[in-house]
Structures are given as structure tokens and as C-alpha cells.
């Protein structure tokens, strides 16, 4: 059986885009996106959108309409506060349409490049806007979007993975044992740390979702926006040795705290969140395996070596759960 995205012929894509009140010229370029299908379409000159737009075709059956519209409202709320987040275009008050069985949104094109995230001034600049995003995110709550928690990103993800036949039998047991031990330890640590405030987040704030422009950062792709601790939007911007990550986090928070308070106790969540992401990422690939784009992009996914490495990564992560970034420099 072919995947639903096989029905996305160029004429289907162009017809959907033109329903948003723009006239396409025929130029169409697929953009790098695995979860959804995203296209750059050339258009006749438009007073608001210029000569090109970005169209997003949501993965069927992933989100409800309510969840997608909540994403759109969040983006619009941020954009209305002059925060550089790319919000969808509306036509007759509607930002989401259905076309040939797909939910579709259209966005203005933002021209930019990857930020030099290793530069202190860039980290501080990104931190200032993340502080502004979270100041808005803290004023209300999501109702249809998921939360950052062990059940969703951990146990649920692992159970969905184990329901597939993508783990070779010889590594299935050691991988499952490592994952369950890690998730149990994460739960125990979370209970010991106590409750933390959950706010509306970007949810997937890594360097690939930031475009750098002449005016600074633009945050794109709120597809994974959800509720969680503020540090969820910070830790994926850190890399390198522990001392290097401490310095990077210091620069981020130096900008962040100009616009929003940060609870330093959330630093203890970083390694917990890293562990949850490892389990969730493997489950995500497995859950998309029927999409031909995934076997092409991840040909090593079903190999014994991959799963042996993953099991070892989870054991290594278990060993460093107590290795949180020191707040001493803050």
C-alpha cells in the first residue's frame, strides 16, 4: 500500500497553495522536512508575501485540527508581540484548510541561514528572544497540545517501538532492558526533584529550527510546540564538553533573563530530557517507517550495530543522570 504522501503530485500542491489567495507560477521546490511535507512555491508578486511562499502539508493522522490550530494561534500570538516567529497566512480568517485529504497551511518565506551558535553574542541574542517567547508562553496554557513527560516521550514511545518488527531479535532484549532502566531512573529523579512549572514552549528548539537574518534570529517550525519546563527550549542548543555547555548556557541565560525569570533548579532536568529524547527519537523513526522517505534517510536504522549502539547510549545516559550542569557560574 502506498503512503498517503504519494498522492502529493505537483498539481495537488499548487492547487492547495492557490486556495490561500496567491497565484503560483509553477516553480516548486521540496524543502528538507521528514515529519511533514514542505514546499517552496514561486508566486506572482504579492503585497504581503513577495514572490514565494512556503506550504506545509501536515502528516495525516498525527495531529487533530484543534492541536494544529492551537499551534497557529500560538505563532500568531508571538508574531503579534513582534517576536520573530513565522506565523501562517490567513485567508478569510482561516489558517488551515483541507485539500485532497491533507491539512495545509501557507507561510511567508523567510530568507536566512544557520546561526553561528558557538558565538557568545549569538547565544545571548537567541536567549533574549527565547525569554520573550517564554514570557508570552507563560501567560496561558495549551489544551490540545501534548506535554513533556515520561509517559509521552518515554514509556509510550518505547511501547510503540516494541510493537514494530524493526528491532533485530538478538538486540531487542538488551535494548528494552536499557531503555526501561533509564526510564525508571528518570521517573525516580523527577519525583525527587518535585514538580516544576510547565509553560507553552517551542518544543523542538534546536539550531535547525532557527534562521539567522540581517535582523537576528527567526524561529521556525512550531510543529512540536507543547507544554513543559522552560529548559526544554534551551538544552538542545548546547553541545560539546560539560564546561563548554556551561559557558553556552551562561550566554543563553544572560540574554534570557532580561525578559523572563529562569528557575535554576530546572538545570537538573537537562540530562533527563536528553535521555527521553533518545528513546523518543528511535520510536519516531520506527513509527514513520512506512513513509518511503525514512528508509532512504535512515538506511542503518534496522541494523544490529545501530541498536547495539543505541543500547549502549542509553546505558551511558543512565550513568550521567547525576551529571547535571553546575549552576555555580550563574
Q: Which residue do the cell numbers 508578486 mark?
A: 45
C-alpha span between 183 and 272 (Å, rounded):
9
**Helices and strands per DSSP (H, E), number in the chain:** 10, 9
DSSP state of 154: I
Active site residue 221: yes
Cβ neighbours of residue 302 under 8 Å, at least 6 residues apart? 166, 168
256, 267 Cβ separation under 8 angstroms: no
Task: Mark out the alpha helices in the chain (DSSP H runs).
Answer: 10-18, 65-80, 120-137, 150, 156-162, 169-193, 242-256, 270-287, 293-297, 304-319
Cβ neighbours of residue 249 under 8 Å, at least 6 residues apart? 234, 238, 267, 325
Q: Is the dihedral of CA 208, 213, 219, 256 positive or negative?
A: positive
C-alpha span between 252 and 266 (Å, rounded):
14
Q: Choose the catalytic residue: 44, 221, 224, 323.
A: 221
**Cell numbers at 177, concatenated:** 532492558
Cβ neighbours of residue 39 under 8 Å, at least 6 residues apart? 13, 17, 28, 29, 30, 31, 54, 55, 57
Please tell me whether residue 42 adopts helix, strand or coil conformation.
strand
Q: What are the backbone angles phi and psi of residue 166, rounded to the nearest 5°?
A: -90, -10
C-alpha span between 108 and 105 (Å, rounded):
10
Q: Choose the catalytic residue: 65, 204, 223, 263.
A: 204
Active site residue 323: no
Residues carrying an active site annotation: 204, 221
Amino acid at each position: 500500500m502506498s503512503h498517503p504522501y504519494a498522492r502529493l503530485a505537483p498539481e495537488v500542491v499548487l492547487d492547495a497553495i492557490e486556495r490561500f489567495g496567491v497565484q503560483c507560477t509553477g516553480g516548486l521546490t521540496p524543502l528538507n522536512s521528514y515529519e511533514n511535507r514542505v514546499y517552496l512555491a514561486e508566486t506572482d508578486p504579492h503585497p504581503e508575501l513577495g514572490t514565494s511562499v512556503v506550504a506545509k502539508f501536515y502528516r495525516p493522522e498525527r495531529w487533530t485540527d484543534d492541536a494544529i490550530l492551537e499551534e497557529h494561534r500560538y505563532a500568531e500570538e508571538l508574531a503579534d508581540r513582534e517576536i520573530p516567529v513565522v506565523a501562517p497566512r490567513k485567508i478569510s480568517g482561516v489558517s488551515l484548510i483541507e485539500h485532497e485529504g491533507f491539512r495545509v497551511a501557507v507561510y511567508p518565506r523567510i530568507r536566512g541561514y544557520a546561526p553561528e551558535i558557538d558565538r557568545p553574542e549569538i547565544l545571548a541574542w537567541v536567549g533574549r528572544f527565547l525569554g520573550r517567547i517564554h514570557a508570552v508562553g507563560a501567560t496561558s496554557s495549551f489544551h490540545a497540545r501534548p506535554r513533556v513527560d515520561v509517559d509521552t516521550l518515554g514509556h509510550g514511545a518505547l511501547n510503540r517501538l516494541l510493537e514494530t518488527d524493526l528491532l533485530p531479535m538478538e538486540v531487542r532484549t538488551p535494548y528494552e532492558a536499557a531503555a526501561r532502566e533509564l526510564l525508571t531512573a528518570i521517573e525516580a529523579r523527577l519525583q525527587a526533584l518535585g514538580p516544576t512549572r510547565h509553560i507553552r514552549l517551542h518544543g523542538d528548539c534546536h539550531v535547525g529550527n532557527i534562521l539567522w537574518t540581517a535582523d537576528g534570529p527567526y524561529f521556525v517550525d512550531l510543529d512540536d510546540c507543547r507544554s513543559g519546563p522552560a529548559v526544554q527550549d534551551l538544552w538542545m542548543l548546547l553541545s560539546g564538553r560539560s564546561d563548554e555547555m556551561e559557558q553556552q548556557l551562561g550566554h543563553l541565560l544572560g540574554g534570557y533573563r532580561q525578559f523572563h525569570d529562569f528557575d535554576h533548579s530546572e538545570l537538573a532536568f537537562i540530562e533527563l530530557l536528553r535521555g527521553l529524547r533518545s528513546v523518543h527519537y528511535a520510536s519516531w523513526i520506527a513509527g514513520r517507517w512506512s513513509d518511503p522517505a525514512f528508509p532512504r534517510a535512515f538506511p542503518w536504522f534496522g541494523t544490529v550495530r545501530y541498536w547495539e549502539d543505541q543500547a549502549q547510549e542509553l546505558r551511558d545516559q543512565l550513568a550521567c543522570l547525576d551529571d547535571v550542569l553546575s549552576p555555580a557560574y550563574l
